[in-house]
Chain A
Amino acid sequence: MEKRHSVPLGTYFMIWFGLLVLTGVTVTAAGLHLGKLSIIVAILIATVKGTYVLFYFMNLKYEKRIFKIMFAVALSTFMIILLLTFVDVSFR
């Protein structure tokens, strides 16, 4: 059996703590009434949180490169669909 890099358990606690802090930040930011900016801030923070979960909790950081490529392909596919949909909707 190939030994994979084992993440120190302390790292998980740190990531968890970071996620809690970011949740606090996003709730606070929503209360500031930033107008149009607020949705961008919210999605940005959610992306950072999601990346933390993917990279550390889901171990993507320590996986072989092929896993990262596959993930990038899947995410890009979704992004392209999203983009094309908006191009379609805005020019109707």
Chain B
Amino acid sequence: MNGIAVHGMELHRDATGARMGMWLFLFSELILFGGLFLLYAVYRSSYPEDFHYAASHLDTAVGTINTLILLTSSLTMALAIGVLERGNRRLSSILIALTILLGIVFLVNKFFEWSAKFDHHLYPNSEELLLHTPGENVFYALYYSMTGLHGIHVLVGIGILSFMLYYVARKPRRALTLREGDPSSIIVQDGKGKKIWQHQTGEGVFGVDLTFIYNEHEEVTEGTTIKLENSGLYWHLVDVIWIFLFPLFYLIT
């Protein structure tokens, strides 16, 4: 840049406030799932044997694999934020894509797991299940609603992260305004030093303000980091919920 300080439009951002808003939302999620955990706790204490028996039909291996997948997706998510803070847009995009991929694998596993249960006629109100004890019916009702609601959250998380992938991977647009009296020759280069725009007037910018918008490759704005951090908070919360769902449904046989 030829002797001109570029001041892109810096919006005021309140990172702490943005995160606090996200946490407040997460608390409402805690209460949402909390209600279901409450139901689980009460019914489990009413029908301990039925819960044990019903849980023995769940596939611990699939549950364990899905736990490992979600934990790993939390790692890639945390790393995506970490490298973005350090200015690495490209690696961050790759890590976000990996996180999305792991989320999809989780849901595919979930799909096969549910399908297997449906094949065994174990779904709410099925003729087969109605022959079983009330406790087993409650167990499967909770199993489907809790892992189902959790699955919806994973799906929403994938949606949010897909948007973030686009947002992080694209080149941010910046605006540059030249005012009267600015230097007469302006050369704009891209990241590799190649000249992409040149402006020359004999006497400097004269009479009018010039504004042009350009793409800046490496710059990571604070707005992008905040958005990715908040998406990450959501993704990790979904992970935390699964950390509790996993032992309660798969490991109580």
Q: Does B211 contact A (CB under 8 A)?
A: no
How many residues of A are counted as interface, with CB atoms below 8 angstroms from the partner's CB atoms? 45
| Partner among A19, A39, A54, A56 whose Cβ is within 8 Å of the Cβ of B252 | A39
Q: How far is the CA of A60 from the CA of B253 in the complex (A)?
A: 34
List chain A residues, Cβ under 8 A from B233. 58
How many residues of B are counted as interface, with CB atoms below 8 angstroms from the partner's CB atoms? 48
| Partner among A9, A19, A53 whose Cβ is within 8 Å of the Cβ of B79 | A9
Q: How far is the CA of A27 from the CA of B82 in the complex (A)?
A: 31
Chain B contacts to A: CB under 8 angstroms: 13, 15-16, 19-20, 23-24, 27, 30-31, 34, 37-38, 41-42, 45-46, 60, 64, 67-68, 71-72, 74-75, 77-79, 82-83, 85-86, 222, 229, 232-233, 236-237, 239-240, 243-244, 246-248, 251-253
- What would 26 A/B residue contacts be, using CB atoms closer than 8 Å? A2-B16, A12-B75, A12-B82, A15-B75, A16-B72, A16-B74, A20-B68, A20-B71, A23-B67, A27-B64, A30-B60, A46-B243, A46-B247, A49-B243, A50-B240, A50-B244, A57-B74, A57-B239, A58-B232, A58-B233, A64-B16, A70-B23, A74-B27, A74-B30, A85-B41, A89-B46
Chain A contacts to B: CB under 8 angstroms: 1-2, 4, 6-7, 9, 12-13, 15-16, 19-20, 23, 26-27, 30, 38-39, 42-43, 45-46, 49-50, 53-54, 56-59, 63-64, 66-67, 70-71, 74-75, 77-78, 81-82, 85-86, 89
